[in-house]
Amino acid sequence: MPAEDDKHWLEQPVIALKGIGEKLQERFARRKLFTLNDLLFHLPVRYLDKTRIQPIAGVRIDDSALVRGELLSCKTHYARRPVMTCQISDGSAMLTLRFFHFNKSQTQALARALEEGKWLSCFGEVKRGRQGLEMTHPEYRIIAEDQIIQMQEHLTPVYPTTEGLSQTVLRNAIAQVIQQLKQQQKNNSQREIITDFLSEAIRRELALPLLSQCLLYLHEPPPECSVFELTEGDDPWRQRLVLEELLAHQLSMKQIYQQQTQHKASAFRINSDHLFNHKLSQIGQNSPGSIQNSLSAQFLQQLPFKLTQAQQRVIQDIAEDMCQPYPMQRLVQGDVGSGKTVVAALSALFAIENRCQVALMAPTELLAGQHYDNFRQWFTELDINISFLSGKSTARERREALEVIDDGTAQMVIGTHALFQDEVNFNNLGLVIIDEQHRFGVHQRLSLLAKGKKEIQQSIYPHQLIMTATPIPRTLAMTAYADLDCSVIDELPPGRTPVDTVVIGQQRRDEVLARVHHACLNGRQAYWVCTLIEESEVLQCQAAEQSYKLLREQLPDLAIGLVHGRMKAAEKQAVITEFKEGQLALLVATTVIEVGVDVPNASLMIIENAERLGLSQLHQLRGRVGRGSQASACVLLYGQPLSKNGKARLMTLRETSDGFEVARKDLELRGPGEILGTRQTGLAEMKIADVIRDQHLIPKVNDIALHLLRDYPEAVTPIINRWIGHSVEYQNV
């Protein structure tokens, strides 16, 4: 290919390669592999070592290895399905080969091929079997005893694939691109063939190797490479590409942020002087002479407690944002019980004072209902009209809610995902508050934001405030939330009592039951949380309904209630109200009470089969107690056998109550995809980077992203397209 085309040859479609027709092209497209460039940056997830024959005695459990040996025996067993087991030996040790998933005729053919005394070369994953080392369904070839086996010249890559797209097809296609790359290098030895979008200053400062070198090394690692080191990703070639992939994700999020700041928003007039130039510690202590008579000031004055310094700092951030002529995009992270709802209430009042509507969206019916009750209690004396809308609202409730939302009578609307449906028309939406943001997809969040734009001719967007009780380490937040400004409430209100967490096996359930009984008879209240509603043989978790019946039999003198996700909203709310008012001593529930339920007198939390839940969810549940002045406890009941991972989670809960530490450990154990939720699934789909392993790079990546956006904006889109491409579909929402 001529040198002048070196910038364009990688833009060819995959169908330009030998052996790829239209059907295969469609299968490549399922993996978002459209061009030769996509193939070149489709990197291996692991490697197989077929570059050398290993002695059987030297292979490691769980490693894949190439071995050779003499076939000593071959037997077929017929049970529910035929199973053939063969034993080979190379003189150093014996290895069992196991074959199944075949019919009778195939069995006979295999038995004829594998006769005692023949020699085999075998490649497969080594496991520990009942008779020692074992391979299941290995690749094998019959060879002569003294035959010299042709080895691979480099480690064999294993690529991410999809149904209908085999490793052989992928390897052949990528090998063709690699060969073209080598030819390009040969023809243009004086310069880099792959366009490097990082500035020369950055490459020199970080001593980065050439992109072409990195790609060739990772697609075709030399035999002397350590498979372990390559998989761990600490080598300079992989780290060079990791840096650029993290950079692509960082840039894509910052691009979303920049696009949002190009929109118009109502620049609110917030007279924060009377809130922030006077000491907020005085507000809430009935000192009306020190503040003006605004809604926000009245609200602060009626609170029975004073705000923490952290809450004051975050409210100041929000007030400054909402005074700007472009939409606020702020995330508030705060541990369980840190007072995020009060911050949300003040933010809502800033918007209402400026004659705008507020929408608060929560992920569950129960949490939305709890917010509705809290805000009605707080805002009733301020004469603020609040409406509620959810997917389970009756036809009449829905019709009435839609009317007052449309005509502007409803100053604040609280609900679930039903808020962003097409028939919901806001009159003048000025602020969107999203609670527990990780439960929503980015499309849902942006759809609600677009409500403000659709209803106003000037295309004015609402401000957005996003809250989460799943705090994450600062370095990860720089990537996960790069499209948002972040504030952290890192201080708990005074009066929160520490929760004593204990870990107990199910065999001591009777002791726990006695403790619950004693606590409730002494005027305290307790939660009993089950992880499923119905019986499940797989998870072996006790169902909430069965636990409810059993506990009523075992504790007949206690008033016990039941709440689970399949109950009607009104039924759930009625039970929660009874529990809040002290009519119920014990509440049996599923994890629907994870957030939003606030009962200060509840000081004991029992979580059955706690090993089945993630750390962050356990921490959220534990946060339901410790809200009053009494000593509180959380009992984690676990079933056997307890896995190593499950034990690590429970021990973490026992050792710390710090939400940031809990989240850090949860990220380490489960990865970012599950912790950050649907909004950030892109972090879990990175080709080569691992945000936990590679978080040391994130501060530098953030600096580079800001540098490129400021000084080299032309490089931003090519970097994003190289690594993310078609997956950033939501950027233009």
pLDDT in tens, 296-307: 888 988 888 889
Radius of gyration for the chain, computed over Cα atoms and rounded to the nearest angstrom: 31
Q: Which residue has the higher pLDDT, 213 or 284?
A: 213
pLDDT value at residue 320: 92
User: Quick one: which of 338, 650, 364 has its CA closest to 470?
Assistant: 338
Instruction: State whether residue 531 is helix, strand or coil.
Output: coil
Statement: residue 439 has pLDDT above 80 = no
| Tens-digit pLDDT profile for residues 468-480 | 887 777 777 888 7
CB 466 within 8 A of CB 331: yes
725, pLDDT greater than 80: no
Helix pair angle (644-655, 659-670), 10° resolution: 170
Look at residue 100 and tell me whether its pLDDT is greater than 90. Answer: no
Residues of the chain with CATH 2.40.50.140: 53-150
Closest CA to 246 of 677, 698, 684: 698
pLDDT 10s digits, 200-245: 889 999 999 989 999 999 999 998 887 777 777 778 899 999 999 9
Confidence of residue 598 (pLDDT cuts 50, 70, 90): confident
CATH 3.40.50.300 domain span(s) along the chain: 265-489, 499-656
Given a cut of 70, is residue 406 above it in pLDDT? Answer: yes
Lowest model confidence (mean pLDDT) among 94-103, 413-422, 663-672: 663-672
Q: How far apart are CA 417 and CA 368, in angstroms?
A: 10
Max CA pair span of the chain:
101
Q: Could you tell me which residues are beta bridge partners of residue 534?
A: none
- Residue 4's pLDDT is 42
- Could you please state the CATH topology (level 3) that the domain comprising 53-150 is classified under: OB fold (Dihydrolipoamide Acetyltransferase, E2P) (2.40.50)
> Into which CATH architecture does domain 265-489 fall?
3-Layer(aba) Sandwich (3.40)
Residue 281 pLDDT: 39
Query: What does the pLDDT read at residue 676?
Result: 61
Task: Check if the beta carbon of residue 432 is closer than 8 Å to that of residue 462.
Answer: yes
For residue 468, the model assigns a pLDDT of: 86
The pLDDT > 90 percentage for the chain reads 44
d(CA 76, CA 82) in angstroms, rounded, equals 7
Which carries the bigger pLDDT value, residue 283 or residue 328?
A: 328
Structural element, H or E, at residue 633? strand 632-638
Region of residue 540 (phi > 0: left; psi between -120 and 50: alpha; otherwise: beta):
left
Q: Is the bond leading into 641 cis (omega within 30 degrees of zero)?
A: yes
The tens digit of pLDDT for each residue in 632-678 reads: 999 999 988 888 888 888 999 999 888 888 888 887 777 665 556 54
Residue range 430-449: mean pLDDT, rounded: 70
Percent of the chain with pLDDT over 70: 86
CA dist 451 to 232, 464, 580, 670, Å?
45, 12, 35, 35
Residue 633 φ/ψ, nearest 5 degrees: -140, 150
Determine which of 93-97, 377-381, 388-392, 685-689 has the lowest per-residue pLDDT on average. 685-689
Token look-up 């690590």 returns 648
pLDDT digit string (tens) for 680-723? Answer: 445 656 888 888 888 889 999 999 999 999 999 999 999 998 89
pLDDT of residue 259: 85
The CATH number for 499-656, chosen from 2.60.40.1220, 3.40.50.2300, 3.60.150.10, 3.40.50.300, is 3.40.50.300
**Alpha carbon distance 286, 404 (integer Å):** 34
Among candidate residues 605, 603, 600, 571, the one with its CA nearest the CA of residue 588: 605
Which amino acid makes up residue 274?
A: H
Structure tokens at 728: 């950033």
Instruction: Give mean pLDDT, residues 556-563.
Output: 93
User: Exposure of 53 by Cβ count < 10 A (0-12 exposed, 13-18 middle, 19+ buried)?
Assistant: middle
| Average pLDDT score over the chain | 84
Backbone region of residue 62 per phi and psi (left: phi > 0; alpha: psi in -120 to 50; beta: other values): left
CA distance 459 to 43: 43
Give this prediction's pTM.
0.78
> What is d(CA 464, CA 437) in angstroms, rounded to the nearest whole number?
11
